[in-house]
Structure formats: structure tokens, C-alpha cells
């Protein structure tokens, strides 16, 4: 199985600012006509990047200083919209190992758990501090500790929130749940047999 | 203790509590399509696993299918490859595939109810966020990612946390020319796109009691646009009448047994909720979105909001929306030119949606002007056949609409139906995100089928109640 323990993520931060950034912006649907997730990393935020480039500006994902950044800093309701796992896959395949933000859509959060990318929550004032930090000092070392839920960036230290169940999954290396689900086969059969509709009411 | 439907159905399908504190939840019905399933089939193959209960998974092709011509091979080789993968994976695993050749193909959230697969008291999942649609029948239905599609294929279960439940009650009677789509947009306008995060929405009150199943599906479809992964309506006689006689519904001799189960999972009269909101139907008008998120909407005749009406935190997004849409705060949408009109999608691509439009346009002198491209895209082959049987395809074409084959079409533009440049599209779909309809600068105005029909015939955003003298 693919699951391994994840307790600490270190690297540098990259800020993508804005509330309600939806999955179609993270990876526009027209890039999804393929049967694998390969190559999605290059197309993350494709339209936003192009629109900024057309205006003579540079999206964080195109900035040389953030080329190797692996900790994404976002605002409210990040990843709203589609359930397509292509969005978290695109971000992960771009090189992001961890997301820190004010809040997430539920499906997006869960999809990230199942591919091993923790999405931590911090307060509005703390995300502003962290975003400012990585923008003013792109090489500043960030660390995210899932044991203590502490995020450090240079002299900054902020406290994060993360659901206890998900935290245990990362620390215990069980974020890929298939193995645990398979273990309960007898219970699965029992539950199935208790459903009146299970065999199409035959 | 008195319980709501969410908790009853959740408990009935709980296999076990997992080490993470989440629950292993059994999935009564699993729908798959070509976009989010091929990677999942590859994953179970890599792990040497089989599909646990093939008879509880059903497949269709909808996102990538062209609507002008379904002839194989598809012109887009990548789309053809996805189509092939689904054919191969379903055949290899004994999964029924409502392929184009069966006459039952269509958008996943339209065909499952149409075939009677969607039933009360079920847990239903699909790798598509609009799976919330199926909650209209009193089921717990929600969208999942591809890793969860893998888990459901391999075990018929997934790991789920328990949601809170908010009862959204709307009493009174909707005004003439106010439709289920307006109810959906109204709720999102009031509660916001983030308001439902962490909640399942139970829709209740006279407005929902009086709705047809198609109308209930329209509202539940858009629960996710308000952040709620699940939206549902308690089942009633309307639900049972709809299901009666459908291919996968209980046969006549099993119907009493089925109804007994369906009645047992309804919310108890004194059930408790984590939150309750109550609205009055009289406050709901035809709504139109003006921005880039589904809660950025106004009643059709209202002025667009001013930036100062929003909190400091929301201002950047509002500014971004105005910039993208090229609209000005304080102006009205009425009279804005429309380039494209799209009637279809899992929100409004059902038979009754098109019948309603036919009722409005058939006696109108107006036809679609040459400046407008107007698409009628049935949600399924069965809907399409029924429209043809009634001769409605001819009426649509006489009025200047293109009458297409079944598919997701311009809702998300993973197929040839796309906006060009910064065109404005009056659309019955569910998302007005930037770039959603296939052009990175395309603009979407979400509205009801009646409002889109009026926009199609006049080439402008108009109040359909005036165009068609409704009420």
C-alpha cells in the first residue's frame, strides 16, 4: 500500500491569495480528458497564470523564487466546487506537500487526506502573517508539525487546527484507508445483507 | 429518541467505526462515469483487488460525450480513449454500462433516477459533486474523489465523518414564474457558498412538499454549491409514485415492503437538528447570478450590489468578480446582451424542464435572433426520445434552438460545447466559476430554464414573467 507516516513537513511557503478559489480554477476541466493524473501538475492554476501573465504579472506558481516551494498558503473555502480529485492531484503533482489555509470545502479536504496531503486550518490573522512572510522572504524555512500542530516560519510560530481523526491517520500512516476497509469484510457482508434493497428487492 | 433521516440512514449503513474516528459507511448505490473512474480501476488492479459488489455499481458516459454527434470513434482521441477505458473496465468487472447504444445513456444524475436506481433510504455516491441530486428521494447522496471511488469499488464502503444537519424550511407558495432553480439560487444567496460546509441540508416545508421529483432534484443538485455535500427531501407519496414502474424500482408485489422501509427512514416529527432556518416562499423571485460564485446573485430586476455592501474580507472577491464579468456595481442585469443560451445539465436537463420551456415558447412570436446560439441539451437519451415523440424537437428547431444529443454539454465544457472568448451565456447549469464553460474568459449567468428561454428569444437578460406574460 502507499500509505506512510507523515508527522512533519518542512520546506518553503507559497501564497495563493483569495477566498472561494474553486476546483475549476485549480485545474480547468478542459485539461481533464485523460485517463491518468499524469502531467496535471504543470497545468495547476493554468487560466489564472495565463491571465496574470497577459497583464504583465506573475502568478506565484510561475515565480522563480517559489519554484521549489512545497507548502501552499490559502484563504477561505479553498477547493470549493467539483469532487474531482484532479484538483488535489494537480496541486500535489506540482510539488505541494501540505496546505495551510483558513478553511476548505469538505470534499477537497477529504480528497487531500486520501492522497496524503494534510490541509491545516489557521486563523485569518495568522494566515496573513504566514502569507506575508513567504512573499517577503521566499527562502524562509517553514515547518509544519502534525504532532504539536505548530507551524513555524522564521521567527513566527502559529497554532493550527486539524481534525483529530485525520491527524491520527497521517501520524499512523493510515491516510490511505483501503487496507483498513478491507479488513472488515465480514461486517461489510453483514451490513449488505441487512439492507432490504440490496438485491434490487428480489 | 426522535431522529432525522440523515442519522437513521447513516446508522443503517454503518459497518464499523474506524481507527481515525470516522465511520466505515456502506454504499447502497455507486454510479461511475468516464472522467473520475479510470484511475480508480487502475488503482484496484495495481493492488490486486476486485470489485466487491458489481451489481451495486452502474456506469454511464456523460462529461466528454459530444452532443452534436455521438458516432464512434469520437473525433477527440482523448475523449475516445476515456470512453474505451470505461467500456473495458465495466466489461471486465461485470458492471452494467448504460452505453450510448442502449438508449439509456445520459447524465449520471438524470439516468439513475430515471431507471429507478435512486431510491429512498439508500446511501449513494459517485465521483461527481452533484451526486447530492439523488437526495431528492430521501437518500444520503454525495460526491467523492477518485481515491474513494477506488475504495467503493474494492469494498462497497468508504470512510466518512458524520455531518451536522440543517433543516431548511420554506413555507408558503411560490409566485408565478418562480421555479425550483430560483429556490436553489435563493437558498445559496441567503446562506452563502460556505454556509453549508459541515452540514447536510434537509429541505422541508410546503414548497418542497408541493414540488415534483424533478423540482426536488434541481434544488438538491445545488446543495453542494452552498457548501453542503448532501441535500435531501424526506420521501412521500410523490416519491413513491415517481418510482412506481421504473425498471430498477421494486416490482408491484414488493412495493408495500419497500414503502414500509422508506417510511421508516423519514425524519421523525420531533427530530432534532443542529440548525434550522425558515424562509417564506413569497420572498423568492427569479434569480440570476452576476458574478463568479453561485452566491453572487440578485433578483432579476434588482440592482447589482455595491462593493461597500460587503465586509472587508469579501471585498477582494467582489472586486475580482466585477472585473471578470465587466459589470458595474449598482447597474441592473436586465437588458444585458446574451451570446449563448444553454438549457440542460444535471440541474435542469429533465423532461419537465423542457416541457415547461415548450409551454412558454410555443405560442410566442419570438424566435432566437441570429446573434444568439441557443442549445437544448436533453439530460438523457430517454428524455430526448420523449421530447421527439411529443414533437417538441421540431418546435425548438422552428424557434431557432439547436436540439442536441444527451450529455453534460456546456455545463463544464469537457466536450466540444464551449464558450468562445468572453461570451456571456445564460445557463441553466449550476456553476458560474471563471472559465467553467470552456473559455478562460467566458461569462456565465445562472438562471431557470424559463429565464434562459426568454434570454434566448430576446438576446438579452429579461424577466421571463414579462416576456411570456406569466401570472
Task: Assess whether B292 and B277 both reside in one domain.
Answer: no
As a whole number of angstroms, the distance between CA B196 and CA B194 comes to: 6
Q: B160, B191, B223: which is the final residue of a domain?
A: B160
Q: What is the pLDDT of residue A123?
A: 98
Both B300 and B375 in a single domain?
Answer: yes
Chain-chain contact of B145 with A83 (C-beta, under 8 angstroms): yes
Q: What average pLDDT does chain B have? A: 97
In tens digits, what is the pLDDT along chain A, a chain of 202 residues? 468 999 999 999 999 999 999 999 999 988 898 999 999 999 999 999 999 999 999 999 999 999 999 999 999 999 999 999 999 999 999 999 999 999 999 999 999 999 999 999 999 999 999 999 999 999 999 999 999 999 999 999 999 999 999 999 999 999 999 999 999 999 999 999 999 999 989 8
- The shortest C-alpha distance from A198 to chain B (Å) reads 7
How far CA A107 is from CA of A88, A110, A117, in Å, comes to 10, 5, 13
- Mean pLDDT within B100-104: 98
Note whether B140 and B9 are within 8 A (CB): yes
B441 contacts in A (CB within 8 Å)? 51
CATH number for position B402: 3.30.499.10
Domain co-membership, B279 together with B389: no
For residues B229 and B362, state if they share a domain: no
In a shared domain, residues B202 and B320: no
Indicate if B106 and B213 belong to the same structural domain. no
Q: Which structural domain range is residue B323 located in? A: 287-467
Cβ-defined contact of A84 to B145 (cutoff 8 Å) = yes
Q: What is the largest CA-CA distance in chain B?
A: 65
Q: Which of A50, A177, A188 sits opposite B156 (nearest CB)?
A: A188
Which chain A residue has the Cα nearest residue B198?
A106
Q: Report CB contact under 8 Å: A200, B248.
A: yes
d(CA B340, CA B442): 10
CB under 8 Å to B358, separation ≥6 — which residues? B392, B395, B396
- For an interface test with B, which of A83, A167, A182, A194 has the most B Cβ atoms less than 10 Å from its Cβ? A83
Residues B322 and B425 in one domain: yes
Is A201 within the bounds of a domain? no
Whether residue B364 is contained in a domain is answered as yes
d(CA B258, nearest CA chain A) in Å = 8
Same domain, B318 and B462: yes
pLDDT digits (tens, 9 = 90+) for B43-92: 999 999 999 999 999 999 999 999 999 999 999 999 999 999 999 999 99
Asked whether B8 and B21 are in contact (CB, 8 A), the reply is no
Instruction: Count other Cβ atoms within 10 Å, centred on residue B387.
Output: 21
Which residues of B are less than 8 Å from A107 in CB distance? 129, 142-145, 224, 229
Q: What distance in Å separates residue B280's CA from the closest CA in chain A?
A: 28
CA distance B248 to chain A (A): 7
The CA distance from A105 to A82, in Å, is: 10
pLDDT of residue A1: 47
Classify residue B241 as exposed, middle or buried by CB count within 10 Å of its CB (0-12, 13-18, 19+). exposed
Question: Is A37 in Cβ contact with B414 (below 8 Å)?
Answer: no
A68: CATH: 3.20.19.10
CA-angle at B156, arms to A119 and B81, nearest 5°: 80
Specify the CATH number for the domain of residue B188: 3.40.1060.10
A135 domain residue, yes or no: yes
Pull the grid cell for residue B62: 456523460
Cell reading at A103: 478553511
Q: How far apart are CA B210 and CA B264, in angstroms?
A: 21
* B329 burial type by CB count under 10 A (0-12 exposed, 13-18 middle, 19+ buried): middle
For residues B457 and B409, membership in a common domain is answered with: yes
Asked if residue A200 belongs to a domain, the reply is no
> Per-residue pLDDT tens for B347-395?
999 999 999 999 999 999 999 999 999 999 999 999 999 999 999 999 9
Return the axis-axis angle of helices B146-155 and B38-46, rounded to nearest 10°: 50
Pick among A6, A29, A111 to test the B interface (most B CBs inside 10 A): A29
Three-class secondary structure assignment of A111-137? HHHHCCCCEEECCHHHHHHHHHHHHHC
The domain in which residue A111 lies consists of 8-175
User: Does A182 map to a domain?
Assistant: no
pLDDT bucket at B471, cuts 50 / 70 / 90: confident
**How far off is chain A from B175, nearest CA to CA, in Å?**
30
CA angle B106, B108, B112 (to 5 degrees): 95
Are B126 and B225 found together in one domain? Answer: no
**Domain identity same for B205 and B266:** yes
Q: Which residues of B touch A162 (CB under 8 A)?
A: none
Nearest CA to B204 out of B260, B264, B271, B142 is that of B271
Q: Is A158 helix (H, G, I), strand (E, B) or coil?
A: strand
Percent of chain B with pLDDT over 90: 98
- Residue from the list B16, B146, B431 with its beta carbon closest to the beta carbon of A81: B431
Question: How many domains is chain A built from?
Answer: 1
Tell how strand A98-101 and strand A119-121 pair up.
parallel
Phi, psi values for residue B411, rounded to 5°: -65, -40
What residue spans of B332-463 are helical by DSSP H? 345-348, 351-361, 381-389, 392-398, 449-458
Q: How far apart are CA B129 and CA B124, in angstroms?
A: 12
Q: Smallest Cα–Cα separation from B340: which of B407, B405, B436?
A: B436
Asked whether residue A199 is domain-assigned, the answer is no
Measured distance CA(B309)–CA(B330) in Å, rounded: 11
Q: Do B20 and A83 touch (CB under 8 A)?
A: no
- Is B245 a domain residue? no
- Is the residue at B156 inside a domain? yes
Phi, psi of B137 (to 5 degrees): -95, 0
Beta bridge partners of A158: A151
- Helix, strand, or coil (residue B466): helix
Give ∠ CA B268-B274-B275 in degrees, rounded to 5.
100
Task: Evaluate whether residue B254 is within a structural domain.
Answer: no
Q: Residue B166, SS3?
A: strand
C-alpha cell at A2: 502507499
What is the total residue count of chain A? Answer: 202
Helix, strand or coil, per DSSP, at residue B97:
strand
The 10s digit of each residue's pLDDT in B111-140 is 999 999 999 999 999 999 999 999 999 999
Q: Are A140 and A159 in contact (CB under 8 A)?
A: no
ipTM of predicted complex? 0.94
User: Per the CB < 8 Å rule, is B414 touching A32?
Assistant: yes
Q: What angle do CA B450, B196, B121 make, to 5 degrees?
A: 80
CB-nearest partner of B145 from A76, A77, A114: A114
> For residue B1, how many other CB atoms are within 10 A of its CB?
7
What is the total count of domains within chain B?
Answer: 3
Q: What is the model's pLDDT at position A2? A: 61
Place of cell 414548497: B207
* Largest Cα–Cα separation, chain A: 66
Average pLDDT of B195-200? 97
Asked if B222 and B308 sit in the same domain, the reply is no
Are B131 and B125 spatial neighbours (Cβ–Cβ below 8 Å)? yes
Domain membership flag for residue B418: yes
What is the bridge-based pairing of β-strands A8-15 and A141-145?
antiparallel
CA distance B41 to A113: 20
Q: SS3 of B318, please? A: helix
Residue of chain B minimizing CA distance to A30? B414
- Looking at the domain assignment, is residue B241 inside a domain? no
Which of A30, A168, A196 lies at the smallest CB-CB distance from B438? A30
Residues of chain A found within 8 Å of residue B229, distances taken between Cβ atoms: 106-107
Choose the final residue of a domain: B283, B313, B344: B283
Residue B154 to residue A182, Cβ atoms within 8 A: yes
The Cα A183–Cα B424 span in angstroms is 52
Amino acid at each position: 500500500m502507499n500509505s506512510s507516516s507523515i508527522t512533519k513537513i518542512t520546506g518553503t511557503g507559497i501564497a495563493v491569495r483569495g477566498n472561494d478559489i474553486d476546483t475549476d480554477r485549480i485545474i480547468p476541466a478542459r485539461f481533464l480528458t485523460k485517463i491518468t493524473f499524469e502531467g496535471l501538475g504543470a497545468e495547476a492554476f493554468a487560466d489564472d497564470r495565463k491571465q496574470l501573465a497577459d497583464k504583465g504579472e506573475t502568478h506565484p506558481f510561475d515565480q522563480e523564487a517559489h519554484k521549489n516551494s512545497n507548502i501552499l498558503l490559502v484563504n477561505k473555502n479553498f477547493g470549493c466546487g467539483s469532487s474531482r480529485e484532479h484538483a488535489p492531484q494537480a496541486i500535489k503533482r506540482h510539488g505541494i506537500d501540505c496546505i495551510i489555509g483558513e478553511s476548505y470545502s469538505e470534499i477537497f479536504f477529504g480528497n487531500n487526506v486520501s492522497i496524503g496531503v494534510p490541509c491545516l486550518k489557521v486563523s485569518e490573522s495568522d494566515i496573513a502573517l504566514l502569507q506575508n512572510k513567504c512573499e517577503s522572504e521566499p527562502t524562509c524555512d517553514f515547518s509544519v508539525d502534525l504532532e504539536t500542530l505548530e507551524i513555524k516560519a522564521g521567527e513566527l510560530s502559529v497554532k493550527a487546527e486539524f481534525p483529530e481523526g485525520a491527524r491520527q491517520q497521517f501520524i499512523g500512516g493510515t491516510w490511505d484507508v483501503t487496507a483498513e476497509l478491507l479488513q472488515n469484510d465480514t461486517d461489510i457482508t453483514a451490513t449488505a445483507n441487512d439492507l432490504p434493497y440490496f438485491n434490487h428487492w428480489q | 429518541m426522535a431522529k432525522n433521516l440523515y442519522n437513521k440512514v447513516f446508522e443503517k449503513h454503518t459497518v464499523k467505526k474506524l481507527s481515525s474516528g470516522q465511520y466505515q459507511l456502506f454504499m447502497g448505490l455507486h454510479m461511475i462515469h468516464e472522467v473520475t473512474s479510470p484511475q480508480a480501476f487502475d488503482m484496484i488492479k495495481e493492488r490486486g483487488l476486485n470489485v466487491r459488489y458489481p451489481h451495486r455499481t452502474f456506469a454511464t458516459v456523460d462529461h466528454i460525450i459530444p452532443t452534436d454527434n455521438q458516432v464512434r470513434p469520437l473525433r477527440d482521441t482523448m475523449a475516445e480513449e476515456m470512453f474505451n477505458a470505461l467500456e473495458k473496465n465495466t466489461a471486465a468487472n461485470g458492471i452494467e454500462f448504460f452505453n450510448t447504444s442502449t438508449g439509456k445513456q445520459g447524465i449520471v444524475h438524470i439516468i439513475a433516477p430515471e431507471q429507478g436506481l435512486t431510491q429512498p433510504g439508500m446511501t449513494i455516491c459517485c465521483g461527481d459533486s452533484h451526486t447530492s441530486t439523488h437526495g431528492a428521494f430521501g437518500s444520503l447522496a454525495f460526491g467523492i474523489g477518485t481515491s474513494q471511488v477506488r475504495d467503493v469499488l474494492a469494498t462497497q464502503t468508504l470512510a466518512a465523518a458524520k455531518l451536522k444537519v440543517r433543516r431548511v424550511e420554506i413555507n408558503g407558495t411560490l409566485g408565478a414564474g418562480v421555479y425550483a432553480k430560483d429556490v436553489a439560487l435563493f437558498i445559496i444567496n441567503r446562506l452563502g457558498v460556505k454556509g453549508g460546509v459541515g452540514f447536510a441540508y434537509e429541505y422541508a416545508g410546503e414548497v418542497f412538499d408541493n414540488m415534483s421529483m424533478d423540482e426536488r432534484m434541481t434544488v438538491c443538485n445545488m446543495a453542494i454549491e452552498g457548501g453542503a455535500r448532501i441535500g435531501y427531501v424526506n420521501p412521500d407519496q410523490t416519491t413513491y409514485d415517481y418510482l412506481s414502474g421504473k425498471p430498477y424500482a421494486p416490482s408491484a408485489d414488493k412495493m408495500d415492503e419497500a414503502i414500509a422501509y422508506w417510511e421508516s427512514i423519514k425524519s421523525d416529527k420531533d427530530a432534532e437538528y443542529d440548525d434550522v432556518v425558515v424562509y417564506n416562499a413569497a420572498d423568492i423571485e427569479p434569480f440570476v447570478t452576476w458574478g463568479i460564485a453561485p452566491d453572487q446573485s440578485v433578483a432579476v430586476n434588482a440592482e447589482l450590489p455595491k462593493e461597500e455592501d460587503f465586509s472587508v474580507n469579501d471585498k477582494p472577491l467582489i472586486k475580482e468578480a466585477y472585473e471578470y464579468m465587466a459589470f458595474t456595481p449598482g447597474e441592473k442585469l436586465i437588458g444585458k446582451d446574451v451570446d449563448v443560451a444553454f438549457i440542460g445539465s444535471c440541474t435542469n436537463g429533465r423532461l419537465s424542464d423542457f416541457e415547461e420551456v415548450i409551454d412558454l415558447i410555443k405560442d410566442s412570436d419570438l424566435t432566437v435572433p441570429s446573434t444568439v446560439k441557443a442549445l437544448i441539451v436533453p439530460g438523457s437519451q430517454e428524455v430526448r426520445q420523449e421530447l421527439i415523440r411529443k414533437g417538441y424537437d421540431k418546435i425548438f428547431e422552428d424557434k431557432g434552438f439547436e436540439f442536441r444529443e444527451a450529455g453534460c454539454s456546456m455545463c463544464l465544457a469537457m466536450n466540444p460545447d464551449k464558450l468562445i472568448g468572453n461570451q456571456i451565456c445564460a445557463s441553466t447549469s449550476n456553476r458560474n466559476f471563471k472559465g467553467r464553460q470552456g473559455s478562460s474568459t467566458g461569462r456565465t449567468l445562472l438562471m431557470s430554464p424559463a429565464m434562459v428561454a426568454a434570454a434566448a428569444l430576446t438576446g438579452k437578460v429579461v424577466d421571463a414573467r414579462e416576456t411570456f406574460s406569466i401570472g
